[in-house]
Amino acid sequence: MNRLNYFNPYINKTNNHEDRLTRAFLVLLRYSPSSFSFFYEAIKQRSKFREELPNLYSLINKNIEIQTQVSSAKFETVKLLSILITNDYYTDDILIKPSCRTATYDGVITLGDNLTIIIETKPDRNNVWQDQLCPSKENLSDDIEIISMPVVIMWSSIITWLNEFAFSNQHNYSERLIVEDFLSFVNENYSYLNPFDRFDLCKGNHSLILKRISTILKFIVKDEDKVKYHQGWGFYIELPYNSIRKIGLIFHPKENCLKLSLYFADTQGQARGLYPVNIDINEFEKEGWIIHPNFHFGFMTSNIIWFSSNDIRKYIDYWNQNTEKLRQIPNHIELKKFVRELVIEDVINNDDEGLKNKIYNSKMEKINVCPGLAFIYEIPLKRAEELDQKGELSDLIKNKIDFCLKNVISRNSVELLNG
């Protein structure tokens, strides 16, 4: 069976064996056409003989074959190109020519009858043996033309554009999923290939910052499967509590800031689990937290409209004293009465136009009351970079989460986070 069949992995080789890395990458190219296109374009851009390489669109009716651990083959295409994928710049001058060695190629890509690409992958450039980049005479047809200079691609470049790919909405879900799986495999077994293990190394790149956030959250939690991604928000830790279900570490590019975000009572059910609540707002403010009301109405599983409030203390006091009002509003008439009461009590600011557009002009009935509370701790990106360089950022985030959970819902983060 083909070794690149997804269901036919190596059994007798450890995950950090370089053949596993090669197979994983070639499986990615085989199952993700977009990844293959990006990889081939990277090859063309880096080759001094790019004009001699065919364009992908010219191969639309040609067979493209990807193989690994090839030892017996006859290369009969017009041209042959050698590729080295490694962890660092490789500047040694290498002349690619027929070799007398008996070769086993890490990877072979055949593009119709136009081009054969032989691939040597090395996690460490110091382990590169130059003759490994040259094809064996035994495998060459008589008239094949060997391109005399190899193309060297660094793993850091591959990881960079795969991260861009993973966070793009322009590609289908299946391709993004296999890219994410490959990146997780690399991070787990070849973390030294990931050059973006600190925020300062991300150089402000949005996708790389998101990847670093994901890595930090997975590092601090006991079960990294609890770290998930919400499109339009960001990475968060899934929680088991009845008053809050997510802790987000959200990047806000316009503000160049990370925001540790805990939204309590985000649904009507969570509100019932939270109120009444005893919160020392002064203590939170001393610790640098921003607390603000997050009142909104929901319908079924969707949140519909949000309202601003003037006074956080008055807001909390009202809901502590009126827990019986944490209920569904059955119809628009009752909803108008309820909103009027909240405005009179200075719990929320009125928004007649928003209510009209979002609810009153719709057929939605049975509106959920969600008196949310938002706890935000801001970390400017510059500060995050400095703390990350010192190895102190993860501890700061853990400490802030622990403080918030203890002082809002009396939960100890030891059940959630690593010590």
Domain encompassing residue 295: 222-415
Give Cβ neighbours of residue 130 (< 8 Å, ≥ 6 apart).
92, 94
Cα 115 to Cα 56: distance, rounded to the nearest angstrom: 11
Q: Which amino acid, residue 191?
A: S
> Of 158, 193, 212, which closes a domain?
158
Residues facing 120 on adjacent strands: 84
244 shares its domain with 377: yes
Q: Is the peptide bond before 276 cis (omega within 30 degrees of 0)?
A: yes
Please report whether residue 85 resides in a domain: yes
Confidence bin at 1 (pLDDT 50/70/90): very low
The pLDDT tens digits for 49-74 are 888 888 888 888 888 999 988 888 89
Cα 382 to Cα 329: distance, rounded to the nearest angstrom: 46
Give mean pLDDT, residues 301-330: 91
Confidence bin at 189 (pLDDT 50/70/90): confident
Of 271, 190, 237, 205, give the one whose Cα is nearest residue 16. 190
Q: Which amino acid, residue 45?
A: Q
Q: What angle do CA 100, 106, 112 make, to 5 degrees?
A: 90
144 shares its domain with 228: no
Please report whether residue 188 resides in a domain: no
Give mean pLDDT, residues 321-341: 91
282 shares its domain with 398: yes
> What does the pLDDT read at residue 244?
96
The pLDDT tens digits for 192-213 are 777 777 888 787 888 889 989 9
Please report whether residue 34 resides in a domain: yes
Tokens of 95: 């002349």
Taking the chain, what is the end-to-end CA distance rounded to the nearest angstrom? Answer: 45
151 shares its domain with 31: yes
Q: Is the peptide bond before 195 cis (omega within 30 degrees of 0)?
A: no
Please report whether residue 396 resides in a domain: yes
Please report whether residue 68 resides in a domain: yes
Confidence bin at 15 (pLDDT 50/70/90): low
27 shares its domain with 128: yes
The better pLDDT of the pair 51, 314 is held by 314
246 shares its domain with 377: yes
Cα 69 to Cα 83: distance, rounded to the nearest angstrom: 15
129 shares its domain with 44: yes
> Of 128, 143, 158, which closes a domain?
158
Report residue 323: phi and psi, to 5°.
Answer: -65, -20
Tokens of 27: 């499986």
152 shares its domain with 270: no
> Of 158, 175, 196, which closes a domain?
158
Average pLDDT score over the chain: 88
Structural domain count, the chain: 2
241 shares its domain with 380: yes
Residues facing 247 on adjacent strands: 237, 262
The pLDDT tens digits for 363-376 are 888 889 999 999 99
> What does the pLDDT read at residue 261?
98
Cα 14 to Cα 185: distance, rounded to the nearest angstrom: 12
